[in-house]
Amino acid sequence: MSATVGRRRVAETARAMWDVMIADPVRQGRLRLDGLPPAVRQMSITGVVVLGGLLVSLVLNDLWRRGPLTLVRDFEQAPNLASQGVIPFTMVAVAIAWVLILTGATLTRPTMAVFLALAFLLANTGISDTLVLGQDSRLLRVLPDMIVACYFAAPVLALALSVLRRTGRWVPARVAGGVVLALTVLTFYGAHLVVYVLEDSRGHLATLPRALDGTINGLQGFLVPLFILAVAGLVQLNHHVAEAVATPFWDVPARVAKVILLLLIAIKLRYALLGRVGYWATYLTDRRAQAVQAAAYVLLLGAAAWLFREVRRRGATGIPTESLVYGGSLLLSSTVVIVGVVTNVALFLAGRGARDAAGWVIDNFPSTFLVRYGLIGASAVVLLAGVAIASRRTPAPYRAVRDRATGGALVLAGAWVLPNVLLQQVSERDVGFDIGLVDLALTLIALVYVVVRWRRLDTAAAVRTGALLLFASFVAGNGYVATRLVSRVLAAFTPPAVLLIVIGVLYVVLADSSFASASSARFPREARALLWIGYLIFTVAVTNYVLVARETEYRIEYDRFAFHLLALPLAAWLAVRSRFEPASAPGGEDEGMR
């Protein structure tokens, strides 16, 4: 092979890897701003800029703490001190998020606008008013009233504009109303900041840091869907990376592919087994419940492989992963979100003086029951729905196969989540196991497979197996492998785990946001874009804040929860669905909606 050919091959390989890993997912799943009305597009661009700034802030979040600190929370064993600078930074970001969300509300139907207006009221109930000690300034006497007025005016205005939009008339008034809406929201947050600065400069106790912290903590439940999406996004990214790494090997001779596979197995065993036999032995004897969970996961993988083999045999064109991921994240976060809504309703009522009503809500809403049994019920429904869909008889062969695939996916998900959440309630402990055990088991199975089928093993089988092992390693590393290099460089600014959030959110924005580019009569595209960007800004701003304030425990636990209940079945789904075959590879399947 000449040097020129070699260079061309390297270039082709690099391009193929780029396409598989980045270009294709982004092309198919990115948030599209082209074609939006100019004002909406510009607002969306502004939102994306804010989101980008927030992601940079996430990566460099330790830098915030080099400035002055302020007490934001003292309920825990040790007080939480946040950077003073992150308070206005978060307020500005959240203000822009709400401008986008409420503007999005004006572009939806009034029913949806009511929902979003209520969301604004509930989400901001902790900062719906402010306490001012310094009465020496006229501004300080006026601003508290202004804050309350804006708090109520913004959602009312959004709702009014939504109703007005239905009439199709008064366009100039609607435009002016939109500007007033944006200014109202910005005034609401801006007035808080002015009060904060004036009170602090007078040496008075400024209430904003604690109020904002309380508000953010009351809203953490609403971030859970994004945390879960981020974890799922990482798994998808790992899958793309494994797929991309495998890409150059699809056309190598079988002997070379087999030797490389053996080398990979040897390397994996070197790190998984050497010096760790005792650890695994203790694990298997001392932690049987976890070992059983790991074995169950291997079984799930097997079942998924069988299912897709069947689906594939019947010529299915695939099931959109994005909708499964979103559905899964909503399902898993549903109980937390509902309880969060109820809590904020109670806070809202209490804040408005209806303490009895707030107490009634807290006392009578079955939060404990919901938290304990909500997910069990929901996963049982998923399981049953999967069974129903898979067994549904339909005359159209395409739909029959698709139903079988969709139903099968739901059955798999339900069959994994249901026993896990049941186990969680029975044992009163978080479920979970050392995913390294599954990785080791897969490696050993692969070793046996390679040895038994050595002569009959072709390139495709060897590459598939190798890619699966790589993918397993990436998933077992919970994304750390993919980010280790970056995290070493950025260790001075942020904990490695934060990078996983950043990468996960980036993946969601770049490759898992196609739904926001779609449109429907009820939910037009411009509204989707604004709402989605607004939500992302809101959640990343809050995440950034809790990291700076060192209040990360909550998020981390949901990472685990999401990893075990969504990322693992998703990984199984991804592993068996595509078999790591790029679209152009021999025997590769075009999934269409990857």
Partner 1 sequence: MGDGLSPNRSARLLRWLLPVLGVGALQLAAVSTVQSTSRAKEVDRWFPRRVGTTWLYASRTGGRDTGSHVAEVVAIGATIDGAATVVESRWDDLLGMGPAHQFLYQGATDDRLVLHGQRFGGSYVSYDPPQPQWERTAGPGASFGWTGTVGTEAQHSTTTFEGEVTIVVAGEAQEGCRHYTTATVVTRDTGDVERSYETWLCPDIGAVRTIEAAPDLGFVLEEELIGFRSPVRRLGEVLDRPVQAQVTPRPGETPGVDDARTGAVRDATADVSRLAWSDARKEQIKFPPVGREGLLVLAEQDGAVSAVRTSTGEVLWRVMVPGPVPVSPVVHGPYVIVAGADKVLSALDADAGVPHWSIRLPDVPAVAPLVAGDTVVVAGQDRRVRGLRLSDGTERWQVPTGDIPASPPALAGGLVVIADKAGAVAALRLSDGWVQWSTTLERRWAAGPAVAGDRIVVVDRAGIVSAFDTVSGELDWSRYIELDVEVPLVVAGDLVVLVPNGDRIRALDRDDGSSRWQVRLEAETDVAPLAVGDDLLVAVKDGRLQRRSLADGSLAESIPLTSPTAASPVRIEQPPVWVGGEVVVSLDHDLPWPRTDLLAFGPSDRGGVRLTGELRRVPGLLSGMPRLAGADLLLPGADHRVQVVGPSGSARTLVTSDADVPYAVPAGDAVLVHRGEEVVALPLSGGDPRWTLPAGAPVRGSEPVVAGDGAIVPVTGVGLVSVDLATGRRRWIYPAQNAVGVGSPVVLPDGDVLYAVGGLVRLDGRTGLPRWTLPGITVFGPIAAAEEVVIAAAVTATDSSLLAVDLASGAVHWRRPFAPSPLIGPAARGDTVVAVDANGSTVGLDAATGSPRWSYAMQTGPGGSPVIVGERVVLSEAGRDEDLKSRDARLSVHDLRTGRWLGALEPTGFAFTRGTFGATAGAVVVSIGSGVMILRLT
Query: How far is residue 19's CA from residue 24's CA, in Å, rounded to a whole number?
Result: 5
Query: How far is residue 104's CA from residue 93's CA, in Å, rounded to a whole number?
Result: 16
Mapped onto helix, strand or coil, the DSSP state of residue 465 is helix
- 65 vs 352 by CB, closer to partner 1: 65
Question: At its nearest, how many Å lie between partner 1 and the CB of residue 190?
Answer: 8
Query: How far is residue 499's CA from residue 58's CA, in Å, rounded to a whole number?
Result: 8
Question: At its nearest, how many Å lie between partner 1 and the CB of residue 203?
Answer: 3
Question: At its nearest, how many Å lie between partner 1 and the CB of residue 494?
Answer: 9
Query: How far is residue 569's CA from residue 296's CA, in Å, rounded to a whole number?
Result: 11
For the beta carbon of residue 518, count every other beta carbon within 10 angstroms: 11
Q: Which of 431, 465, 374, 448 is nearest to 568 (CA)?
A: 431
**In this structure, which amino acid lies at residue 550?**
R
Question: At its nearest, how many Å lie between partner 1 and the CB of residue 486?
Answer: 14
Query: How far is residue 332's CA from residue 418's CA, in Å, rounded to a whole number?
Result: 11
Q: What is the DSSP annotation of 276-310?
A: THHHHHHHHHH-HHHHHHHHHHHHHHHHHHHHHHH
- 131 vs 259 by CB, closer to partner 1: 131
- 71 vs 131 by CB, closer to partner 1: 71
Give bridge partners of residue 83 from the DSSP assignment: 69
Mapped onto helix, strand or coil, the DSSP state of residue 250 is coil
Return the structure tokens found at 457.
């093993």
Return the structure tokens found at 153.
């005016």
- Whether the Cβ atoms of residue 25 and residue 240 lie closer than 8 Å to each other: yes
Q: Which of 568, 304, 557 is nearest to 436 (CA)?
A: 568
Q: What is the DSSP annotation of 476-511?
A: HTTTHHHHHHHHHHHTTTS-HHHHHHHHHHHHHHHH
Tell me 109's DSSP state: -
Query: How far is residue 324's CA from residue 341's CA, in Å, rounded to a whole number?
Result: 24
The secondary element (H helix, E strand) that includes residue 243 is helix 208-246
Give the contacts of 147 (CB within 8 A, at least 6 positions apart). 127, 128, 129, 130, 188, 191, 192, 195
Question: At its nearest, how many Å lie between partner 1 and the CB of residue 442?
Answer: 19
Question: At its nearest, how many Å lie between partner 1 and the CB of residue 224?
Answer: 18
Query: How far is residue 527's CA from residue 45's CA, in Å, rounded to a whole number?
Result: 14
- 70 vs 333 by CB, closer to partner 1: 70
Question: At its nearest, how many Å lie between partner 1 and the CB of residue 264?
Answer: 24
Question: At its nearest, how many Å lie between partner 1 and the CB of residue 257?
Answer: 34
Rounded to an integer, what is the distance from CA 569 to the centroid of its chain? Answer: 15
Question: At its nearest, how many Å lie between partner 1 and the CB of residue 32?
Answer: 12
Query: How far is residue 130's CA from residue 191's CA, in Å, rounded to a whole number?
Result: 10
Question: At its nearest, how many Å lie between partner 1 and the CB of residue 243?
Answer: 28
Helix axes 208-246, 3-18, angle to 10 degrees: 140
Number of H helices, E strands in the chain: 22, 2
Question: At its nearest, how many Å lie between partner 1 and the CB of residue 550?
Answer: 6
Q: Which residues bind partner 1 (CB under 8 A)?
A: 34-38, 41-42, 45-46, 49-50, 53, 62, 65-69, 71, 74, 77-79, 81, 84-85, 87-89, 91-93, 96, 193, 196-197, 200-203, 278-279, 282, 286-287, 289, 427, 429-430, 432, 434, 491-492, 495-497, 550, 552-553, 556, 560
Question: At its nearest, how many Å lie between partner 1 and the CB of residue 85?
Answer: 4
